[in-house]
Amino acid sequence: MHIIFASQHQAHATSQVMPGCPDRYDETPPRAKAILAALDAAGLGSPVQAADHGLAPILAVHDAALIDFLQGAFAGSRAFLPGDSPLWPDGYYAVQGARRRPAGWQQLAGYHATDRDSPILAGTWQAAYWSAQAALTAAELVKAGQRAAYALCRPPGHHATAGQYGGYCYLNNAAIAARHLQAGRGARVAIVDIDLHHGNGTQEIFYADPTVLTCSLHADPDQEYPYFWGGADELGSGAGLGANRNWPLPAGIDDPAYLAALDETLATVRTFHPAFLVIAAGFDLVQGDPSATTGGFRVTVDGLEQVSRRLAGLGLPTVIVQEGGYQIDRLGEMALRFLRPFA
């Protein structure tokens, strides 16, 4: 199985002490290192460095204004922030809409950010760019005929919308992979997001698009981040009506109940008749993840493997994109169990 990674992920150095960060920060470089080490040791496939596909496939998904901001934010903010201090937003203007785009870097951060979970560090753009390149490289392999490819993306991406970042996410890797799968052929793509948290960015990017089916199984947004998206009544709009489906699930859901919801999702995917599948693989659905604020799910690692087996049973050419999952000492095992049915 092809395993794609980008060594540049370490440039987003969130393991360091970050002034202005009041809480524990879960999304750190050891996440990707733990997964890569486990896959390499198990001989599941030979990890290969992502190839550079440039900015064009990223701009096919994201607004140029967001890309300009992410590229220049750290350097531009050094006029008022010392040394390696991260840039955090100063207020939030665009969750409910804004009348104008501000000029200052700190205010621009508030304009482009949906929350305060995503610091801009010296290497953030480099890491986010190469995370997207990992997803693009996996998509290119699948377009060329591979049954499945795994993109070890860090930072993750499914909370990033076309014009905003947040929830540890800067560029939406799953959406970028989906658009790249469509490029040149207009193929229908299904995205299934199994992360504990709703893939709000992916939903919003494709909300009016009838050619991309977005399905998310996630914790009820009345209880868990991202709160403002993820209801079962969010079905898409315009030509895309019916091409967005959400399964908000209660805290404490166990393997049988989760798999029953997944079976409904798979039936929806089959009805859509996609040419490709993209899986936003967040391992924070497994019991005990520290990112869960209300206890999370009671899905086991055995249950995670069953999720993978059922997704693999669709028989579709598949790009697997890494999203969340923050139990670092268990991430390697989770990745192995999830990827083996595709290998």
CA distance linking residue 317 with residue 138, whole number of Å: 11
Query: pTM here?
Result: 0.96
Per-residue confidence (pLDDT) for residue 98, from 0 to 100: 66
Q: Which two tokens stand for residue 119?
A: 């610091």
Residue numbers of the domain that contains 89: 2-339
For the chain, the first-to-last Cα distance in angstroms comes to 5
The Cα 266–Cα 204 span in angstroms is 21
Q: Mind telling me the catalytic residues?
A: 159
For residue 201, what are the CA distances in angstroms to 143, 198, 343?
Answer: 24, 9, 29
Determine the Cα–Cα distance for residues 323 and 150; give it in Å rounded to an integer.
11
| Best CA proximity match to 299, nearest among 198, 196, 164, 163 | 196
Q: Which two tokens stand for residue 225?
A: 């981040």
Output the tens digit of pLDDT for each of the chain's 343 residues: 999 999 999 999 998 777 777 677 999 999 999 999 999 999 998 899 999 999 999 999 999 999 999 999 999 999 999 889 999 887 665 554 666 777 788 888 888 988 888 999 999 999 999 999 999 999 999 999 999 999 999 999 999 999 999 999 999 999 999 999 999 888 999 999 999 999 999 999 999 999 999 999 999 999 999 999 999 999 999 999 999 999 999 999 999 999 999 999 999 999 999 999 999 999 999 999 999 988 899 999 999 999 999 999 999 999 999 999 999 999 999 999 999 999 9
Residues in the chain: 343
pLDDT for 298: 97
* Alpha carbon distance 216, 219 (integer Å): 10
Domains in the chain: how many in total?
A: 1
- Position 170 scores a pLDDT of 98
What is the CATH number for 273? 3.40.800.20
